[in-house]
Every structure is written in C-alpha cells, then in structure tokens.
Amino acid sequence: MAVDNETKPSYLSIAIMDDVELLKKSRKAAEENSLNDNDEKQKWIYLNSDEDATTDGVEFYFEPNDNELNITCSLNIYGGRADITINIPLSDAVLIDILEHNIKRLNKLKTVLEAIR
C-alpha cells in the first residue's frame, strides 16, 4: 500500500456549537486524554466519536471533476454538535491502491458467483 504524505486536504471545516457544557466536557476529555498539560498556556478541546456520541448526515462521495473524496458529518456529543467537512484530493498512488483492492474483491465475488451457477 502506498502512503501519500504529500497530499493535503483541499478543504477542511470544523464548526463547533458554542455551548458552555459542550466546551467544559470537551476540555475535560482533552485533559483525560493528556492533551492539556498544566504548564501549557493554550488549552485544547477534544471531540471523539468513541465518546457518548452519534453521527448524523454522514456523507462519503467521490467528486470525479476534482478527483476528491468528500466527507461530511455532524457529531452529536456532550449535548452539543460539531459539523465536520473535509475534501481530500486523491493522488494516483492512492487511487491505484483503491483499484487494486477492489479488483481483488471483484475477483472473489466472481469466483463465488461462478461456483453457485
């Protein structure tokens, strides 16, 4: 599998609801995950779908004109919400990996279909 360390998202957006409880709980989660040291002047907030969270409006789709994978979702967590959007251009190396993987899967499916004929 090729690792593409050079491709950067063409678009990234994270909008977090300005809710006092959401921010308090996400700061506490950051501390529990060792993101906030007492010596740091800047503090982090932490949102993770492994917590008591649900996702809504999850969309994954390929935009052929831009050769990008687009991902959008809402993370409902700590009584608030964060909306996340990321668009990732797919390099040729990554596309080749995806094609190789899917060709193997299609060949397995072909074998199964031929066996049940």
Residue 4 domain-assigned (yes or no) = no
Residue 102 pLDDT: 94
Pair 51, 32: CB distance under 8 Å: no
Residue 108 domain-assigned (yes or no) = no
Residue 24 domain-assigned (yes or no) = yes
Residue 103 domain-assigned (yes or no) = no
Residue 66 domain-assigned (yes or no) = yes
List C-alpha distances in Å: 48 to 9, 24, 26, 79: 20, 14, 9, 13
Residue 8 pLDDT: 81
Q: Per-residue pLDDT for the chain (117 aa), expressed as one digit of tens each?
A: 666 777 788 888 888 888 888 888 888 888 887 776 666 667 788 887 776 778 888 898 888 888 888 999 998 888 888 899 999 898 888 888 989 999 999 999 999 999 998
Domain that residue 55 falls in:
11-90
Residue 107 domain-assigned (yes or no) = no
Residue 45 domain-assigned (yes or no) = yes
List C-alpha distances in Å: 3 to 6, 53, 68, 96: 9, 30, 17, 11
Residue 107 pLDDT: 95
Tell me the CB-side half-sphere exposure of residue 8, using CA atoms within 13 A: 3
Residue 105 pLDDT: 95
What's the structural domain count of the chain?
Answer: 1
Residue 106 domain-assigned (yes or no) = no
pTM of the model: 0.66
